[in-house]
Amino acid sequence: MNHQSLAAHWMPFTPNKGFKTQPRMLTGAKGMYWTTDDQRQVLDMTAGLWCCNAGHGHPHIAEAIARQARTLDYAPCFGFGHPLSFELSERLAALAPGNLNKVFYTNSGSESVETALKMALAYHHARGQGGKQLFIGRERGYHGVNFGGISVGGITSNYKAFGQWLPVDHLSHTQDLALNAFSRGLPLHGGVDMANELERLIRLHDASRIAAVIVEPITGAGGVLPPPAGYLKRLREICDRHDILLIFDEVICGFGRTGEAFASQTFDVLPDIMTTAKGLTNGAAPMGAVFAGDHIYQAVVDEGGPGVEFFHGYTYSAHPLACAAAMATLDIYEQGGLLRRGAQGGDIASYFEQGLHSLKGLPGVIDIRNYALLAAVEFEPLPGKAGASGAMIQSAAWEQGVMLRALGDAVAMSPPLIIEKHHVDQTVGILEQSIRRLYG
C-alpha cells in the first residue's frame, strides 16, 4: 500500500503520523501467529488486544458466523428478540459466579462499563436512594473510553483533553515496588491496608452519596498489576458495610485469563455487577456482556412499573452474528479446557512465570510481575525519555518476530490460552535480546 492510501483512516490510540510513515500491516492470522504484509510470521503474545484467547482463525467460529448470516443477519433488540440471544444468556449465566444470572449485551468493553454504571444508578434510584450518584474508581484503572469510563478510569491521558463528567474519586493504585517488586503471583504485602483507603473516601464523601466502586481484578492497560493478597476481599467487606455496589471490570480478566472463567471465581470475591467483552467472542465479532446480580434485576425490573424499566440499550445489542460467534467460542473453551488451562501454578503458567523471571538482573529491568497468563516487565525510565522504553522494546521485539504491548516504561503480555512452552522460549529469548540492545 502507498502512503496516500493510508490517509483517510484516522486510527485509534495510534500516533497516526508515525504509523503512516512506517506502517505495521497485518494481513492474516492463524493460531498463535500473525502474518504481515511482508509475509513474516510474528508470534502474538498479546492475544490481539487481550481478546483472542483461543488463538486466531478458528474455523468453528468462522463457520458459525457464516451460517448465522445466512439464516438471520440482524434482529432488532428493542421490543423484539431472537432465540440465540436467550440460549447464549442461559449458557453465560451458568458459567458466571454466584447470583450473576442476568446478562445485558453491549458491543464493547467501553459500552459494558457505561451500562454497568447506569445499572448501579438505576438500582439505587429504584430503592429510593437517588442521591447515591458518586463512583469510586482507581488510579491506573482502565474502563474504556466513553465519558463514564474515562471518568471512573484513572489514566490521565485518557481524560485530560475531555474532562471527567461524572462525580468521581479514585483509590490509589496497588503497585508498591519497595514491598512487592518481582512478585510471582499475587503480591504478598499491603493488600488490606491499601483497600482500607476506601474507608477514608467514604468518610470524605459519605456513603449516602456513593453508588459503586469499580475496579479491574487485575489492572490491565494501567500496567498489569495483580491485586495484593486480601485486597479484593477487603473491598467487598467495606462495600457491604456501607451499602455500596462493587463492580468488577473483567473485560480483560474474563474468559480464562486467570485460570477460571472469571477472576471473581479465581479470587473468590463476588461483585454485584461484572463487565465483560473481548474474550467473549474470541475477538471475532464486537460484543460485550454485563452480568448483573439477581438483586439488581429485581430492584430495577421485577419491582419496576409497567413499560420500559431500564432506558438503555444499543442498536446492535445481542447481534445475531455476535451471538453465534460467542456460542462457538464457548464451545472451543469448553472442549479444549481452555478456561482453566492457564491457571496460576499450572504447567504452562508456571513455565511462563519461570521464563519471564529469568530476566531479573538484566540491565534496566526493575520489576517483573505476573498472574496466570498475564504479565508485565517494567524498565528503568531512560534519561529524558520517561515512558518511552516500553515502545522501544516493543519495536525491537516486533522486528525479531514477537508482538508485545507497550505500556509506558513496561511491556505487557497476555498470550492466547493455547500457548505452548516453545512460544514462551521464543518470547523470553527475543525479549532478552531487545532489553540488552536498549540498556546495554
Domain stop point among 307, 336, 365: 336
Of 126, 306, 128, 155, the C-alpha closest to 216 is: 155
Residue 367 belongs to what domain range? 3-58+340-439
Last residue of a domain, one of 305, 320, 336: 336
What does the pLDDT read at residue 36? 97
Query: Residue 2 above 80 pLDDT?
Result: no
CATH assignment at residue 346: 3.90.1150.10
Same domain, 217 and 284: yes
Contact 73, 324 (CB under 8 A): no
Q: What is the mean pLDDT of the segment spanning 241-260?
A: 98
Looking at the structure, do residues 41 and 131 belong to the same domain, yes or no?
no
Same domain for 101 and 239, yes or no, is yes
**In the predicted structure, residue 3 carries a pLDDT above the cut 90:** no
* Mean pLDDT taken over the chain: 97
Mean pLDDT of 177-197: 98
Q: What is the reported pLDDT for 440? A: 87
Closest CA to 75 of 286, 318, 277: 318
**Number of domains comprising the chain:** 2
Shared-domain flag, residues 148 and 289: yes
Same-domain status, 160 and 11: no
- Among 310, 336, 362, give the residue marking a domain's end: 336
Please check whether residues 29 and 78 belong to one and the same domain. no
Q: What is the pLDDT of residues 253-304, one digit of tens each?
A: 999 999 999 999 999 999 999 999 999 999 999 999 999 999 999 999 999 9
Beta strand 41-44 with 402-403 is parallel
Residues 191-231 pLDDT 10s: 999 999 999 999 999 999 999 999 999 999 999 999 999 99
Q: In 10 A of CB 275, how many CB atoms?
A: 32
Nearest in space to 152 (alpha carbons), one of 175, 134, 125: 134
CATH number (domain holding residue 80):
3.40.640.10
Same domain, 71 and 53: no
- For residue 4, is pLDDT > 80? no
How far apart (Å, rounded) are the C-alpha atoms in residues 403 and 419? 14
- Mean pLDDT in residue range 397-417: 98
Based on the fold, state whether residues 234 and 255 are members of the same structural domain: yes
Q: Are residues 79 and 204 in the same domain?
A: yes
Q: What angle do CA 17, 20, 25 make, to 5 degrees?
A: 140
Mean pLDDT over 406-428 rounds to: 98
The pTM assigned to this predicted structure is 0.97
**234 and 369, same domain (yes or no):** no
Q: Are residues 51 and 83 in the same domain?
A: no
**12 and 124 fall within a common domain:** no
Decide if pLDDT at 1 tops 70. no
